[in-house]
Structure 1
């Protein structure tokens, strides 16, 4: 056994020498030390990370607690609102006067007016042939003359008889008879005069005249046409040319309007508005449509065509009340309500009554003072008693 073999047998690793005289085993020892240092640093970092997550784990139950639902609320206060109600309806003559045949009628000779003409009271609208009636009038006048002649003769006979009575040539009975004859003759004169006046009145009624000043809206007669007392109206006149709008409103809106309220009326197809005034509010409601009529008086303007369609904005008065957007108001079988957030941040329901509609929302006439915190939106996802995280919005509009 050589010396080298003996050393290996004893378990000693051979030592190799480097070029600089250092052994290779010394370099390996230096590498191990560096590796150990790096591993120690890595272990320290891992321990620190583990400690961080361990500490974070202690706080996890608090973070996993249920989050409160955030809701936007507003304290609406009280606002002075100029109430306006929008309605639609038709235009019409405020006082429409149908004009027909008053007398016995006849053949129309001429019609000197047309639709759109302005007429004065008593002006002739249509002339009816009266040739026969004129002859009757002349006959009646002649009858008056005949009766008057008989009455004059009876009076003369009576005067002569009265002169002869004093001489005894005529008896008292003869005087009485002559007096009666004279009275009957005078009565016949009066009858003839009355008959003549009757014929004159009938003849005057043959012409169709305007019962009042105004604007002719319709003309339904032409020359040569035969008319009678049963004929449909020949003319339709708007008295004074005054117009109106028949605004159709629901029960609630109709109840908030009073006569005298101002209104702005805009005919369909026109961008011009006309100022009017409510002069009558219907005392009844249509049982089928559940609507009533507010009649808005308008002065005559050529743009206002009876029978046309128009819209109106009616001033319904001033109201001081809370105003909420529609998103804040919910409905339960016709009962409007809102959700409030109380001092403990819990949700509570409050029934309300709504009023007029404005550009800012609905006025609340009952149920709110304006100081409450009202949920603005998403109320349908809340329930009474639920705790929430309210966020106050200064301006709900």
Structure 2
């Protein structure tokens, strides 16, 4: 028995496809392939443009999809560092002045805030009418004691003349001598009491302990003052001022004593030159900051309590200077990527120093002659092979 197999080329509708339909299907497939290829090329262009900082990657120079990276060799140069800070103006040596005596009613206050005063100048006069009478009474007591001492000495002198003739016994002579000695001692007590009274009277008036600029006056005539009255006057010794510049603990450690600074108070375009004369021995545990005290000469624009900015000269160092984009950090610290042997990327830990307008100084970890990846280091890993291109900077 013979069997015959028949293959039908008809379409679903029972009709054969035309030549035009077959060619259209082929063109559609080729278009999809071209679109996919173009998309892949665009992705590669975008990646290498970002990795090279916008430079056109040289695909002809690449082999095996090796990325092109920009590198820089900064060398080593002298870097002048500055630190910007803000703070409050204050008197360098502020002298609080109060009532050191027994006090009393204020009669007059011959000075006012803003005046220059001399050492020992009277700042406030206290009524002393009662103390004057007490002093007079103490002076009279001294006169009485001296009279008693003179009488006791005279009695002793007469007794000494009679003792040899037997009219005065030895016991009587000893008694008269003791009486004379006691009288002399009472004279000394009275003198000391009178001196104390006069010293107290001298402390009634409030005087300036040193020359300087009077910053505050907190007392008026008619007011009663005493040891518990608090600060009545405040004096800036010599008129010297300072800026309490707030610095972070790392900046405070790096800035040297004697460093010059330019201070500009708020509300004025005038600048004043000063020097750091003291650094805070403690760090605020909340803000992690300390004070650098910048000494300033007196100027009317420097008002204690005012706010000011400062530019501090933090010295110069010799170190490589890198752009911020080249320096990365993680939980292990700061580092850069170096293109080493066979164009392999190597991680190098570093320690940064001064921050300037043109870059960041690297004080440890680099000599400056290395090829350092300038940017896009975040897309690399240690051991990657790259094609280095020297920066045009």
TM tier, smaller: 0.7 to 0.9
Give the drift of 1:105. Answer: 1.0
SS of residue matched to 2:381: coil
- Which whole-Å deviations, capped at 9, do the CAs of 1:50-106 have from their partners, x for residues lacking one? xxxxxxxxxxxx979765433221101001012221111111111111111111111
* Corresponding residue number in structure 2 for 1:307: 305
Structure 1: distance between partners of 2:290 and 2:235: 26
Query: Secondary structure of 1:83's match?
Result: strand
Contact 1:78/1:369 (<8 A) preserved: yes
- Aligned twin of 1:199: 197
Residue by residue, what CA displacement relative to the aligned partner does 1:139-165 show, whole Å, maximum 9, x if unpaired?
Answer: 000111111111111111122222222
Deviation at 1:250, TM superposition (A): 1.0
Which of residues 90, 111, 114 in structure 2 aligns to 1:113?
A: 111
User: Which of 345, 348, 352 is the matching residue for 1:347?
Assistant: 345
3-state SS of paired residue (1:344): helix
Give, in angstroms, the shift of residue 343 of structure 1.
Answer: 4.1
Is 1:96 the counterpart of 2:111? The answer is no
**2:168 is matched with which residue?**
170
Q: What runs of 5+ residues in structure 2 fail to find an aligned partner?
A: 1-58
| TM-score of the superposed pair, with normalisation by structure 2 | 0.81
Q: Structure 1, unaligned stretches of length 5 or more?
A: 1-61
**8 Å contact from structure 1 (residues 112, 125) kept in 2:** yes
Within 2, Cα distance between the matches of 1:384 and 1:163? 117
Structure 1 equivalent of residue 319 of structure 2? 321
* Residue in 2 that maps onto 1:244: 242
* Shift in Å, 1:394: 4.6
TM-score (norm: length of structure 1): 0.80
How much has 1:227 moved relative to structure 2? Answer: 1.0
**Aligned residue number for residue 77 of structure 1:** 75
* Distance of 1:110 and 1:394 partners within structure 2: 77
Distance 1:65 1:233 in 2: 82
Contact 1:89-1:245 within 8 A present in 2 as well: yes
Aligned residues: 334
Q: Give the whole-Å Cα distance in 2 for the aligned partners of 1:394 and 1:179.
A: 109
Equivalences for residues 13-32 of structure 1 within 5 A: none
Corresponding residue for residue 227 of structure 1: 225
Q: 1:99 to 1:107 in 2, by over 3 A?
A: same
Q: Is the 8 A contact 1:94 1:297 kept in 2?
A: yes
Distance, in Å, in 2 between the alignment partners of 1:373 and 1:188 is: 95
Is the Cα–Cα contact under 8 Å of residues 81 and 319 in structure 1 kept in the other structure? yes
1:113-132 alignment, distance < 5 Å = 113-132=111-130
Q: How far apart, in 1, do the equivalents of 2:326 and 2:152 lie?
A: 101
- Structure 2 SS opposite 1:206: coil
Q: Counterparts of 1:308 and 1:260 in 2: how far apart (Å)? A: 23
**Following the alignment from structure 1 to structure 2, what is the Cα–Cα distance between the partners of residues 311 and 351?**
35
1:256 paired with 2:246, answer: no
Q: Deviations over 1:361-387 (max 9, x none)?
A: 110011111011112222222333333
Cα drift, residue 342 of structure 1:
2.3
Moved more, 299-308 or 170-179: 170-179
Contact 1:247 1:296 in 2 (8 A): yes
Q: Which consecutive aligned stretches of 4+ in structure 1 deviate over 6 angstroms post-superposition? A: 62-65
> What is the match of residue 146 of structure 1?
144
Asked if the contact 1:75/1:394 (under 8 Å) is kept, the reply is no
User: Post-superposition shift, 1:201?
Assistant: 0.6
Contact residue 257 and residue 281 of structure 1 kept, 8 A: no
Q: Which has the larger radius of gyration?
A: 1
